[in-house]
Amino acid sequence: MGTNSDRSVGPASQKRGRRARDSLSRAIILEAAEKIATSEGLESLTFQALGKELSAHPTSIYRHFRDKDELVLELIDSLRSRSYGGNLQKTGSWRDDLRLISRHVREHYLRYPQLAFQMAARTTRRPMEFANVEFALDALLRAGLSPDEAVLHLRAFGNVVRSLSSMEASLLALDAETRKRDELAWEVEYRQLPAEEYPHIASLAGQLTGVGDPRIFDLAIELILDAIELHVSRRPVTPAEPEH
């Protein structure tokens, strides 16, 4: 045991500072977790880092969260509501609306790369998810898709947005060195491939970009929006359109 004979320590001497009773809570821990995750990345969110940030013993957190997973899920939810405020305003153009929401999702994922993978695949059934679905459905219906089509295109569009964002985010989550090596490959190793075997690669190697090129996301979104527009414009008769 520590030789802290005087247990009633003075106000200034917290050297052997055990935290005061009830001075921790889920909210306080989540606040510290967010600070770490946003400043150093979520890969640095460890119990030891949390303990340091809180000036508490790392395992104290187990008094408030069953395990790390519970902590992370709780963190996700608190971050999402902070990130997606009430920024979903219709512009009048369905294309702009879908572009807008895709950018929101992508930015949110890129802000929290470590969580992106979970966010992309899981269904959270929470207000922000409901609002996103409603918003996108509205845009697709205004584009002129039938309800049946809108439902399926919502999934195609949404899955593309979320999965692309998640993938881009996962690149950020790789450690810097690995990422650099991967991206550099497209500029170095691909240039050295034999032209006999890979003629197109050989002739285009100088222009090949890495898979993390930010232009890719925008292009993919525009391609899908183009296709939707094309599809609607080819429709023989415009279905009953409630738009005033």
Residues making contact with a copy of itself (CB under 8 A): 69, 117, 120-123, 125, 130-131, 133-134, 137-138, 141, 147-148, 150-153, 155-156, 158-160, 162-164, 166-167, 170-171, 174, 178, 182-183, 185-186, 189-190, 193, 197-201, 203-204, 207-211, 213, 215-216, 219-220, 222-224, 226-228, 230-231
Measured from the CB atom, the residue of 107 and 213 that comes closer to a copy of itself is 213
CA 64 to chain centre: 26
30 vs 131: CA distance, rounded Å: 25
Q: Which does 41 bind (CB under 5 to 8 A by kind): a copy of itself, DNA, none?
A: none
Query: Which 8-state DSSP code applies to residue 214?
Result: T
Query: Considering the rule CB under 7 A, would residue 91 count as an interface residue with DNA?
Result: no
Measured from the CB atom, the residue of 37 and 120 that comes closer to a copy of itself is 120
172 vs 211: CA distance, rounded Å: 12
Measured from the CB atom, the residue of 74 and 229 that comes closer to DNA is 74
Is the CB of residue 109 less than 8 Å from the CB of residue 171? no
Measured from the CB atom, the residue of 36 and 131 that comes closer to a copy of itself is 131
Query: Considering the rule CB under 7 A, would residue 7 count as an interface residue with DNA?
Result: yes
Q: Where are the alpha helices (DSSP H) in 64-214?
A: 68-83, 94-111, 113-121, 127-143, 147-173, 176-187, 199-204
Of residues 60 through 89, those in contact with DNA by CB under 7 A are 60, 62-64, 67-69
Q: Is 168 exposed, middle or buried (0-12, 13-18, 19+ CB in 10 A)?
A: buried
Around Cβ 37, how many Cβ atoms within 10 Å? 22
208 vs 188: CA distance, rounded Å: 10
Least distance in angstroms from the C-beta of 148 to a copy of itself:
6
Q: Which residues bind DNA (CB under 7 A)?
A: 1-2, 7, 14, 16-24, 44-49, 51, 56-60, 62-64, 67-69
